[in-house]
Amino acid sequence: MKITINKKDKSRMGEVDFENLGFGTDFSDHMFVMDYDDGEWHDPRIVPFENLSVSPAMMTLHYAQTIFEGLKAYRTVDGDISVFRPHEHARRLNVSAERLCIPEVDTLLFMDALKKLLELDREWVPKKKGDSLYIRPFVFATDEYLGVGISKSYKFMIITSPVSLYYKEGLNPVSLVTSGEYSRACPGGTGYVKAGGNYAASLYPAKLAKDAGYTQVLWLDGLEHRYVEEVGTMNIFFYFNDELVTPPLSGTILGGITRDSVIDLAREWGVTVNVRRITIDEVLERAEKGELKEAFGTGTAAIISPVGKIAHGEKEVIVNDYETGELSHQLYDRLSKIRYGEMEDPYDWCLRL
């Protein structure tokens, strides 16, 4: 399908302080929009960024039939735009779509829309090292109906936002506390997809964690509350004496694209990587014995986020003297250099524009 473009008359770039960016608060000049009804996607277009007018009866507002993705574009050292693993994000969007009965978005159209939007707003990609352009594709139901059911109409949109670091700590360690009585996901649920409702349900436990002085929640499994699953906004890794461990994607954990990249890099470097179930008791016991060398989270927003403290019930352990570990540094450095074009991309992870 041909994408029509309605260019904004005057850019809003002058209204944004690119030296002091936050995260997800400023938005670029244009957005991509496409509609679905009568059994097909149609009218793909790029238009000026603007508010939407929706019915109070729109089904998404009541039943949360909505999914999203999050990826980033970077300004390379030679002035190009680099997008990290966009095909994987397009694929994962459709995994989420299937689970929520949303029509799939053609991957080629997804990529065409992304390229055209970034080409139009390429000046919005920050030039400052460490900053990036956050890209948010999302789909939501638009039927006006108060009964519970599957919508017959949808919008697919892509908006972008120039951003700085997601965590104020940057590459300094964050602190985690386990989820207590709360559960993020159970087998058979939607824990493995990027559905809006998953994040809404996580807000209250995350608030309690922050009120107690922690950065994020370390989620345990929803059945036994024993097995480590993921952090609120990222996958989790534990680096013991001789192995790097991350929980398996068993239907309750989001299949992180940075997670996959870390596994590939670590194995290439000769690190033993085991994808296996791990209890919080094992983590605490091995930390107390000095066997937990590092722990870190992985995700699009933070890339690598070292963990300096883990609390569970009455126990609390410090990881690596609350310092960023060597492996965390190496992974962050390699992934950053690939993203910013400072080294070769032998994995063909980045789309260059």
Task: Give the per-residue pLDDT at 168.
Answer: 66
- 344 lies in some domain: no
3-state secondary structure of 244: strand
Task: Give the per-residue pLDDT at 129.
Answer: 87
Task: Indicate if the pLDDT at residue 128 is higher than 70.
Answer: yes
pLDDT digits (tens, 9 = 90+) for 294-333: 999 999 988 999 999 999 999 999 999 999 999 999 999 9
Q: Where are the alpha helices (DSSP H) in the chain?
A: 59-63, 86-99, 107-120, 196-211, 257-268, 280-288, 326-339
Assign residue 149 the CATH number of its domain: 3.30.470.10
CA distances to 133, 292, 316 from 23, rounded to whole Å, are: 10, 32, 30
Q: Are residues 238 and 146 in the same domain?
A: no
Residue 105 pLDDT class (50, 70, 90 cuts)? very high
Q: Are residues 128 and 203 in the same domain?
A: no
Q: Are residues 145 and 99 in the same domain?
A: yes
Task: Indicate if the pLDDT at residue 118 is higher than 90.
Answer: yes
The whole-number average pLDDT for the span 207-228 is: 96
> What are the two backbone dihedrals, phi and then psi, of residue 51, each rounded to the nearest 5 degrees?
-70, 155
Q: Residue type for 215, please? A: T
Assign residue 196 the CATH number of its domain: 3.20.10.10
Task: Give the domain-ending residue among 114, 131, 164.
Answer: 164
Residue percentage of the chain with pLDDT more than 90: 95
Task: Give the domain-ending residue among 117, 138, 164.
Answer: 164
> What are the two backbone dihedrals, phi and then psi, of residue 188, each rounded to the nearest 5 degrees?
90, -10
- 351 lies in some domain: no
Q: Are residues 271 and 311 in the same domain?
A: yes
Q: Are residues 136 and 198 in the same domain?
A: no
* Rounded Cα–Cα distance for residues 245 and 19 (Å): 38
Number of domains in the chain: 2
Q: Are residues 186 and 334 in the same domain?
A: yes
pLDDT digits (tens, 9 = 90+) for 18-55: 999 999 999 999 999 999 999 999 999 999 999 999 99
pLDDT digits (tens, 9 = 90+) for 135-160: 999 999 999 999 999 999 999 999 99
State how beta strands 244-246 and 235-239 pair.
Answer: antiparallel
Task: Give the domain-ending residue among 164, 193, 227.
Answer: 164
- 350 lies in some domain: no
Q: Are residues 151 and 220 in the same domain?
A: no
Q: Are residues 17 and 119 in the same domain?
A: yes
- The two tokens of residue 12 are 């809003």
Residue 58 pLDDT class (50, 70, 90 cuts)? very high
- Round to the nearest angstrom and report the end-to-end CA distance of the chain: 21
Query: Which helix H or strand E contains 5, and what residues bound it?
Result: strand 4-5
Task: Indicate if the pLDDT at residue 169 is higher than 80.
Answer: no
For residue 18, the enclosing domain spans 4-164
pLDDT digits (tens, 9 = 90+) for 274-289: 999 999 999 999 999 9
Q: Are residues 16 and 135 in the same domain?
A: yes
**Residue 211: exposed, middle, or buried by beta-carbon count in 10 A (0-12, 13-18, 19+)?**
exposed
**Beta carbons within 10 angstroms of residue 135's beta carbon:** 23
3-state secondary structure of 313: coil
Task: Give the per-residue pLDDT at 171.
Answer: 80
Q: Are residues 53 and 117 in the same domain?
A: yes
Residue percentage of the chain with pLDDT more than 70: 99
pTM greater than 0.85 (yes/no)? yes
Quickly tell me which residue has 């009585």 as its tokens.
181
**Beta carbons within 10 angstroms of residue 197's beta carbon:** 16
